[in-house]
Amino acid sequence: MTGASVQRVVSTGLWAVVVSLGLFSNDLAATEPIHSAIGVTRTGAGIECEIDSADLNLEGNTTRLLLVAGGDGQQDSVDAARNVAKWFRDSSQAAAFREQFSLSIIPCLNPDGLANGLGQANGAGGNPTRGYPPQGPAYHDIKNPEAAYVWRWIGMHAPDLVIELRIADESQWEIVAGANAKLDQLTERLSNATRFARDDSLVAQLPRAAACDVGTVPAIRWRGNGTNAIASFQDLLTAVRECEWPRSNARRELQRRLHRQPREIGGELLEHYGKELKQAVYIQSLAVIGRQRYFEANSDRDSDWLATVEDIVSDYVSGKRIATTKSGSDLSGHLVFTELARIANETRRDRYIELARVAADLAFDAGGNIKEVMPFHNEMSDSVFMGGPILASVGALTGDSRYFDACVQHLRFMRELDMRDDGLYRHSPLDEAAWGRGNGFPAIGVAMCLGDLSEDQSGRDEVLASFRKHMAALAKHQDPIGCWHQVIDHAESYREFTSTCMITFAMCRGVRRGWLDKATYDPVIERAWYAIRTRIGSDGKLVDVCTGTGKQKSLRDYYDRTAILGRDARGGAMALLACNEIALWKSSNSSND
């Protein structure tokens, strides 16, 4: 399946359909699977997956099985996997198993090897059946990207057992020696089961190394003729049931993450982010703003948290440090001053406004006339956020409507430059790709502006209309897992963390302020919050944060931007903003109940 065809399958408001079916019902195990993708090959082919609807709920009662096939590049392997899945889904013989198990599949891990008759080779110098755990950054390995995609996807999917299927003349179960007691027990219950020495295969490494740094997952390999795959799978289900199979370490870790509330996650993030402002740029400033908002919402009135936050920016107040205005990141970095001005005493408030106006005043020429657009936009949709909110917030703080006028003009210029007819933003006119964070920036940027623009401001209606159009377009492309992707309308691109946080922030604020319909967007936010929680570790480590990205020349370039796994300042800042806004959204929902 090509990347484009995968995108067409999942980008049709699927999540709304899942919600209407009643997502968390175990009865869904017998419904049609949800078609999505786990990644993209070097030729641009999507690596397809079929997700059991029950597997969208990590808290469900079923034992989660994942069947991985096609790594050997054999059509018989792909067909056998699909036949097994169809039997499990539709056969009366499998009815009793469906009460206990759910089954998702990756039918063809190596679509390029299959398409070109290369067997286990993928045509790019790699072999997706080997090289685990994958080393180095993801997902732009020019030889073996399939390994990185499946490894991280399995960690976040968190099955309780992975079954790899390969075609061979004789049927045989293979389990790595010494993995764990349950796999040893399973070996004893299966006929034709054998142990093999540890190697760098997926099945050997999943029980030993934490996939996506989440947790280990038991795994087993079946080799055999496709004609007896169903019978062998039935034997496996019987054996697993008799073993009283436990939840995998990966699943237990994700369940632990899901049990946290926004306040708890925010506190964990603050151990690592928002502690300093070495430069007044957007990443550091948003993290400090996240710290301020967290303590505003969660501290006692007598707490000295404000003094602590003000101490972080004190060098700028005193003039010891200068907040420069040489880039868009610098302009939005000045938002830390407007945020503090909102709650500071009068003396400090005036100083914070003075600092913020240095950036906002770049909207005017020497004669005081509004420029066509804020500087440093570089034609990129990032600039909706980089230049818009600083104008709206200074306008709100000073009561000077010129800043509002400049804000509306700036947003209009960027919208006409980068918003596509379908309501998504291209990152720049250089390519039509709707980069994930290139849509996250307009989402939070316009949401922030709307919060400060006066109700009677000329042009506010068009800003609100564009916001609603953008949110509606984004909602259609939410992944069934709850994320938005590195390229919004390409499901084969990786699930990207910062864009998910930013879009969720915008939707939460939109619902709370009455700009968006609550009934429409609450389910979207709820699912996004589900995804966000699973992607934030208690140690501040994050899953798949796109690295800093200038305007790119092609879709392939956006596919290949590094997905950071670990601590990341940009991701931490966006996570803090999202958690704070989600807490307010949840509180608003509780008060309305």
Number of H helices, E strands in the chain: 25, 12
- Of the candidates 260, 271, 313, the residue with the CA atom closest to the CA atom of residue 288: 313
Amino acid identity for residue 290 in this structure: G
CA angle 84, 85, 88 (to 5 degrees): 85
Round to whole Å and give the CA distance between 174 and 483: 35
**Residue that has been written with the tokens 């039997």 in this structure:** 87
Query: pLDDT tens digits for 388-438?
Result: 999 999 999 999 999 999 999 999 999 999 999 999 999 999 999 999 999
Q: Where in the chain is the domain with CATH 3.40.630.10?
A: 58-257
**Entry pTM:** 0.95
Q: pLDDT tens digit string along 506-555?
A: 999 999 999 999 999 999 999 999 999 999 999 999 999 999 999 999 99
**Bond from prior residue into 133 cis (ω within 30 degrees of 0):** yes
543-593 pLDDT per residue, tens: 999 999 999 999 999 999 999 999 999 999 999 999 999 999 999 988 776
pLDDT in tens, 65-108: 999 999 999 999 999 999 999 999 999 999 999 999 999 999 99
Helix-helix angle 460-476:518-534, to 10 degrees: 60
Q: What would the pLDDT profile of 126-176 be if each residue is shown by its tens digit? A: 999 999 999 999 999 999 999 999 999 999 999 999 999 999 999 999 999
pLDDT at residue 568 in the model: 99
Length in residues, the chain: 593
Q: Which DSSP symbol is given to 106?
A: E
Q: What's residue 12's pLDDT?
A: 38
Fold of 262-592: Glycosyltransferase (1.50.10)
Question: What's the confidence (pLDDT) of residue 593?
Answer: 63
Q: What is the mean pLDDT of the chain?
A: 94
Flag whether pLDDT at 124 surpasses 90.
yes
pLDDT range class, residue 302, cuts 50, 70, 90 = low
> What confidence score (pLDDT) does residue 29 get?
39
pLDDT at site 288: 98
CA angle 465, 471, 477 (to 5 degrees): 145
CATH 3.40.630.10 fits 58-257, yes or no: yes
DSSP 477-531: T--TTS-EESBTT-TTSPEEHHHHHHHHHHHHHHHHTTSS-HHHHHHHHHHHHHH
In DSSP terms, 373 is beta-bridged to: none
pLDDT at site 31 = 79
Cα distance between residue 584 and residue 408, in whole Å: 27
Split at pLDDT 50, 70, 90, the class of 38 is very high
* 3-class SS string, 524-543: HHHHHHHHHHHCECCCCCEE
Place of tokens 């009068």: 346
Q: pLDDT tens digits, residue range 56-66?
A: 999 999 999 99
Q: Which two tokens stand for residue 120?
A: 């286990």
Work out the percent of the chain whose per-residue pLDDT is above 90: 91
Instruction: Indicate where the chain has its CATH 1.50.10.10 domain(s).
Output: 262-592
pLDDT at 3 over 90: no
For residue 22, what pLDDT is reported?
A: 43
pLDDT the model gives residue 14: 46
- What is the percentage of the chain residues whose pLDDT exceeds 70? 94
Give the C-alpha separation, 453 to 94, whole Å: 59
Peptide bond into 139 cis (omega under 30): yes
Taking the CA atoms of residue 125, residue 128, residue 132 and residue 138 in that order, the dihedral angle to the nearest 10 degrees is: 70
Contact 182, 246 (CB under 8 A): yes
Q: Is the pLDDT of residue 235 over 90?
A: yes
pLDDT of 8 > 60? The answer is no
**For position 25, what pLDDT does the model report?**
39
How do residues 342-391 score in pLDDT, each as one tens digit?
999 989 999 999 999 999 999 999 999 999 999 999 999 999 999 999 99
Helix axes 282-298, 305-312, angle to 10 degrees: 170
Which pLDDT score, from 0 to 100, does residue 30 have? 55
- Which residues partner with 63 through β-bridges? 101
Give dist(CA 55, CA 428) in Å, integer: 37
* Residue written as token pair 């009677």: 456
Distance CA 131, CA 190 (A): 28
pLDDT at 17: 40
Distances (CA, A) of 195 to 73, 181, 201, 223, 341: 24, 13, 14, 13, 66
Determine the pLDDT at residue 591. 75
User: For 193-201, what is the mean pLDDT?
Assistant: 96
Residue 294's region, left for phi above 0, alpha for psi from -120 to 50, else beta, is alpha
